[in-house]
């Protein structure tokens, strides 16, 4: 692996997206009551060990005076629109583009998600949203502390909770994190926990069908974000934290078997980052294509609404 630094002033980016198109189902209804957000974008430099499969193109620190801005754990890029999911149950939606002039976010809005399937008061921990994916023409959202997957409905509220009994065995802060959609439409849920060198993986199929497998892992980092690329492979970001050594981030890729589960021996580490290189608490991962056809991988960090941390957005070319 090679040690690489990135600065948005120093790279040339092909445009990463066409002008923003139509949002996914229910997003328009949700954003109709959303708050416009002014986002400050500042290029930053990040260092890490990056293998031949990735090329770091740019990194930015995002900030806003809005009290609900931050804590981004889920990321989706779709139709020229950026969706970032806060672990306090808010959704940031903005048109986006990136080229040699840098990153631009247009008409950024931030809205609080509502659980339309429940009656009565909502507890804050019930809205600990973590993973974000596109399922058909709607948003799928995973929750960690009351583990489940829900979908944004046409009314802009969340409905249709999937709560497998197997989710109940995980600790409240070690539940579903990564969420991705397989080519056949099934949802893959990755859990932020490990036992015997592996992390549980669930495939949620039509109806109530739930399949469970394992993702073989080495090292201390646990899954925090995932996406399935157009190449049919699972891209994964993992994170660990130690009070002594700080944050460690690992970006990986796995081939999928015919059953949809990651193949144990196919895992490859694409990049690793440490606190000393300027990285933060990267939790969201998403893929998109630039206008020139280049496959791009994006990461976003959860700053935990702490002044000691920051919201980072990074973009890579997938080169192999």
What's the CATH number where 14 sits? 2.120.10
1 touches 272 (CB < 8 A): yes
pLDDT band at 193 (very low <50, low <70, confident <90, very high): confident
Percentage with pLDDT > 90 across the chain: 66
What distance in Å separates the CA atoms of residue 148 and residue 165, rounded to the nearest whole number?
10
Q: Number of structural domains, the chain?
A: 1
pLDDT recorded at residue 313: 98
Is the pLDDT assigned to residue 225 strictly greater than 80?
yes
56 touches 20 (CB < 8 A): no
Identify the weakest region by mean pLDDT among 1-5, 70-74, 266-270.
Answer: 1-5
Average pLDDT taken over every residue of the chain? 88
pLDDT recorded at residue 104: 95
> Cα angle at 187 between 31 and 127, to 5 degrees?
45
Residue ranges making up the domain that contains 195: 2-318
Identify the weakest region by mean pLDDT among 76-85, 239-248, 280-289.
Answer: 239-248
Over the stretch 85-103, which tens digit does the pLDDT of each residue have? 998 899 999 999 988 778 9
169 touches 176 (CB < 8 A): no
Identify the weakest region by mean pLDDT among 95-109, 112-126, 134-148, 274-288.
Answer: 112-126
Percentage with pLDDT > 70 across the chain: 89
**DSSP-assigned beta bridge partners for residue 203:** 188, 211
**DSSP-assigned beta bridge partners for residue 228:** 234
Is the pLDDT assigned to residue 69 strictly greater than 90?
yes
pLDDT band at 12 (very low <50, low <70, confident <90, very high): very low
Is the pLDDT assigned to residue 116 strictly greater than 90?
no
Within 13 A of 13's CA, how many CA atoms are on the CB side? Answer: 29
pLDDT recorded at residue 167: 86
């Amino acid at each position: 692996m090679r040690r690489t630094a990135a600065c948005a002033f120093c790279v040339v980016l092909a445009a990463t997206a066409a002008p923003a198109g139509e949002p996914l189902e229910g997003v328009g209804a949700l954003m109709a009551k959303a708050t416009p957000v002014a986002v400050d974008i500042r290029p930053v430099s990040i260092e890490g060990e990056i293998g031949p499969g990735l090329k770091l193109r740019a990194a930015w620190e995002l900030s806003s005076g809005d009290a609900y801005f931050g804590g981004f754990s889920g990321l989706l890029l779709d139709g020229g629109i950026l969706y970032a999911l806060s672990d306090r149950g808010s959704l940031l939606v903005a048109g986006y583009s990136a080229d040699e002039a840098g990153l631009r976010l247009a008409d950024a809005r931030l809205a609080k998600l509502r659980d339309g399937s429940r009656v009565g008061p909502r507890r804050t921990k019930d809205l600990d949203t973590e993973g974000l994916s596109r399922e058909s023409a709607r948003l799928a959202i995973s929750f960690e502390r009351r583990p489940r997957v829900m979908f944004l409905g046409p009314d802009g509220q969340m409905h249709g909770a999937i709560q497998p009994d197997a989710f109940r065995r995980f600790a409240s802060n070690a539940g579903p994190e990564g969420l991705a959609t397989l080519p056949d439409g099934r949802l893959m849920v990755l859990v932020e926990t490990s036992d015997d060198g592996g992390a549980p993986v669930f495939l949620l199929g039509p109806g109530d069908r739930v399949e469970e497998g394992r993702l073989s892992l080495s090292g201390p980092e646990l899954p925090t974000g995932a996406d399935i690329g157009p190449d049919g492979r699972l891209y994964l970001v993992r994170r660990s934290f130690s009070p002594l050594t700080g944050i460690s981030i690992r970006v990986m890729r796995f081939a999928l078997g015919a059953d949809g589960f990651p193949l144990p021996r196919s895992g490859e580490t694409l990049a690793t980052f440490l606190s000393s290189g300027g990285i933060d608490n990267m939790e969201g991962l998403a893929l998109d294509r630039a206008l020139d056809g280049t496959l791009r991988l994006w990461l976003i960090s959860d700053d935990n609404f702490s002044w000691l941390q920051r919201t980072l957005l990074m973009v890579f070319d997938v080169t192999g």
